Amino acid sequence: MQDHSGDYAETCRSALAAEQEASLAETDGWSHVDRQKVHSDWDVLYCRLANECGGLQPSSPQVQHLIAQHYAIASRFYVPSKEAYIGMSLFYNENHEMKTFHDGYGPDLAAFLGQAMQVFADRDLTPPPT
């Protein structure tokens, strides 16, 4: 897994904020999203992560399959760039409410999810052109 700290982490946090802000503005506050369905789908996914992934590495194929589903659900709002998705993984651990929410599914799920999201982003998402 790449180092997602320091300046790069700040770039990712900024990408998340900018992409979400632009998407909210372009979609009238994500009015196109069936939020009840999204939250239901995330609930099922987080339960699966907590119940099926104990002892697995964030990079394992089983975990990465579930993280691909997480990315697909997140993409119902907007399609996050590699950096924005890493920013989201950082947000899940740095925001007290989000960490508490995710850890409610299982001990340290926020940290595990964040690591798995970073692996997914590094392996499967293309960075923007320079």
Residue 89: CATH number of its domain = 1.10.490
Instruction: For residue 88, tell me if it sits in a domain.
Output: yes
Which residues of the chain are modeled with pLDDT < 70?
A: 1-3, 127-130
Q: What is the pLDDT of residue 1?
A: 47
Instruction: For residue 1, tell me if it sits in a domain.
Output: no
Q: What is the pLDDT of residue 3?
A: 66
Number of domains in the chain: 1
Q: Is the pTM of this model over 0.75?
A: yes
Q: Which domain holds residue 90?
A: 6-124
**pLDDT tens per residue, range 66-83:** 999 999 999 999 999 999
Q: What is the spatial distance between Cα 28 and Cα 52, in angstroms, rounded to a whole number?
A: 37
Instruction: For residue 51, tell me if it sits in a domain.
Output: yes
Q: What is the pLDDT of residue 130?
A: 62
Q: DSSP readout, 75-111?
A: TTT----HHHHHHHHHHHHHSHHHHHHHHTTSTTHHH
Instruction: For residue 41, tell me if it sits in a domain.
Output: yes
